[in-house]
Amino acid sequence: MTEQLIITDLEIGKGKAAVKGALITTRYSGRLADGTQFDASDAFQCVIGTGRVIKGWDQGIIGMNVGGKRQLSVPAHLAYGGRQMGDRIPANSDLFFDIELLEVLTRDD
């Protein structure tokens, strides 16, 4: 099990940066440690940095730029902790995400 969030930039984006409170759109896939994919989306939207998604996303996407691709290795305590999520994510699971940031919208837009 990982103890801390590991952020790996695969491609640095040149667009707008994700900031706390922004509405972001991502393309992502999520895997368990054994490689089993538990989720994927081509256009997932969320408000980042405000507790609406797992802590690993809130911490791992802030500062990412539109057009960027990033891998996040999220330890269980920054994901769902001791909670099992449906039949796809067992309790105490480290999660691994491939994320592409497609859009960032802030109050200024």
Residues carrying an active site annotation: 28, 38-39, 54, 80, 97
Q: Give the torsion sign (CA, 34, 27, 16, 109).
A: negative
Q: How far is CA 26 from CA 18, 65, 86, 90, 91, in A?
A: 11, 11, 22, 24, 25
